[in-house]
């Protein structure tokens, strides 16, 4: 470890793994506004066993900005455990997550500081984000809770949005007090758990936070093309089952009247997304792809959730509804054909 920093307002946790082409732009987008605006903030660069030049780049930034940056070099643990390591080391009242290939808006920290003071230091603040390809950016989320510029949000509304959309799930689209994290929770049981880790950790944050604010502005730039968008993880759905298990364990804690319906939205969104992404895999045959689809079709969470399909259609994309109906009817050949046709036309 390099660097020990006094207590701060913000701690920005950045897991680093083989991102030598993007890391400097990421750190520069943060350090520039810290220095220029004298923001009370620390940056934690956590090298998760990188095999490229990323670790050396972290050390270079520490040498130049040791009053603002701490660097840790660890063996590879995966994104979830690397973030949890960062939370334990953080000295800020608030924690902000940043992926090491993404950027912060140039006025993000000042804007968050002003909102924190205006709303008397709320526990958790949600905000919007951009997608960008390295040059152009486009607003992805907006008017999540309201079309107001800023507003207080109830915990009930947060739970509702958690189930019905992906807009508040990502760890990079929120900032929260460190006290909202239970550092005694053993996340090691999930291992190198990447897919769904945002959805998983958001459960903990919502449970522990008492006051919520929504800032209806895009403050984060998410780099497209380096995530799941154009690749397929065969374990995607089955990794999410760990999240489903955790949600079910929270059922009595949350005490939500329409829990089963809301839970079905989350399960069926995940099922449909898994099917659509499966078109990016070069299957050896229809039979192989059908075997994969049948595993979802026979899963207990899918079997229970598909009963609510007609009721939750407003919260599903049209192509998702079509695929889910076919999966329910076990028409696997048709699903495979549709996905391959979609792949051909782009």
Running DSSP on this structure, what letter comes out for residue 227? Answer: S
Which of the residue ranges 166-180, 228-242, 244-258, 277-291 has the most confident prediction, judged by mean pLDDT? 166-180
Going by pLDDT thresholds of 50, 70 and 90, the confidence category of residue 5 is low
Which whole number is the average pLDDT over 174-181?
97
pLDDT of residue 187: 83
Pairwise CA distance, residues 260 & 248, whole Å? 10
pLDDT of residue 344: 53
For 195, the token pair is 């897919």
Give the β-pairing of 69-74 and 41-48.
Answer: parallel
Question: Looking at the predicted structure, is the pLDDT value of residue 270 above 90?
Answer: yes
For residue range 44-101, list pLDDT tens digits in order.
999 999 999 999 999 999 999 999 999 999 999 999 999 999 999 999 999 999 999 9
pLDDT of residue 140: 96
Instruction: Judge contact between 315 and 164, C-beta under 8 A.
Output: yes
Running DSSP on this structure, what letter comes out for residue 306? Answer: G
Going by pLDDT thresholds of 50, 70 and 90, the confidence category of residue 345 is very low
Sequence spans of domains, the chain:
8-223, 236-345
CATH for 8-223 is: 3.90.550.10
C-alpha distance from residue 49 to each of 45, 76, 77, 186, 187 (Å): 12, 5, 8, 21, 19
DSSP string, 151-211: EEE-HHHHHHHHHH-STTTSGGGEEEEGGGS-TTS-GGGG-S--TTHHHHHHHHHHHH---
Going by pLDDT thresholds of 50, 70 and 90, the confidence category of residue 2 is low
Instruction: Judge contact between 34 and 68, C-beta under 8 A.
Output: yes
Find all residues with CB under 8 Å of 196, minimum gap 6, and list them. 239, 240, 242, 243
pLDDT of residue 30: 98
What is the SS3 assignment for 275? helix
Pairwise CA distance, residues 5 & 52, whole Å? 27
> Has this prediction a pTM greater than 0.75?
yes
Find all residues with CB under 8 Å of 303, minimum gap 6, and list them. none
Rounding to the nearest 10 degrees, give the CA dihedral for residues 295, 301, 306, 307.
140
What is the SS3 assignment for 254? helix
């Amino acid at each position: 470890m390099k660097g020990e920093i006094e207590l701060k307002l913000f701690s920005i946790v950045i897991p680093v793994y083989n991102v030598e082409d993007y890391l400097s732009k990421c750190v520069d987008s943060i350090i520039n506004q810290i220095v220029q605006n004298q923001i009370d903030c620390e940056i934690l660069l956590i090298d998760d066993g990188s095999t490229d030049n990323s670790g050396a780049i972290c050390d270079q930034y520490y040498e130049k900005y040791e009053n603002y940056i701490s660097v840790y070099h660890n063996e590879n643990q995966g994104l979830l455990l690397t973030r949890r390591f960062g939370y334990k080391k953080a000295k800020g009242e608030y924690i902000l997550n940043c992926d090491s290939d993404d950027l912060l808006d140039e006025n993000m920290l000042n804007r968050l500081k002003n909102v924190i003071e205006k709303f008397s230091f709320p526990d958790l603040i949600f905000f919007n984000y951009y997608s960008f390809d390295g040059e152009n950016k486009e607003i992805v989320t907006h008017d999540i809770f309201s079309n107001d510029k800023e507003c207080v949000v109830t915990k009930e509304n947060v739970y509702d949005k958690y189930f019905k959309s992906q807009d508040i799930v990502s760890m990079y689209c929120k900032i929260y007090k460190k006290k909202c994290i239970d550092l005694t929770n053993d996340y090691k049981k999930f291992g190198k758990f990447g897919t769904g880790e945002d959805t998983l950790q958001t459960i903990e944050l919502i449970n522990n936070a008492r006051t919520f604010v929504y800032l209806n502005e895009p403050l984060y730039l998410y780099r497209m093309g380096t995530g799941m968008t154009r690749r397929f993880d065969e374990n995607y759905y089955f990794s999410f089952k760990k999240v489903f298990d955790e949600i079910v364990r929270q059922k009595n804690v949350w005490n939500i009247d329409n829990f089963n319906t809301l839970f079905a939205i989350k399960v069926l969104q995940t099922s449909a997304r898994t099917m659509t992404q499966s078109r990016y895999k070069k299957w050896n045959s229809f039979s192989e792809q059908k075997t994969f689809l049948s595993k979802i079709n026979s899963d207990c969470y899918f079997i229970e959730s598909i009963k609510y399909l007609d009721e939750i259609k407003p919260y599903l994309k049209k192509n998702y509804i079509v695929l889910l109906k076919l999966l329910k009817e076990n028409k696997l050949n048709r699903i495979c054909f549709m996905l391959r046709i979609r792949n051909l036309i782009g």
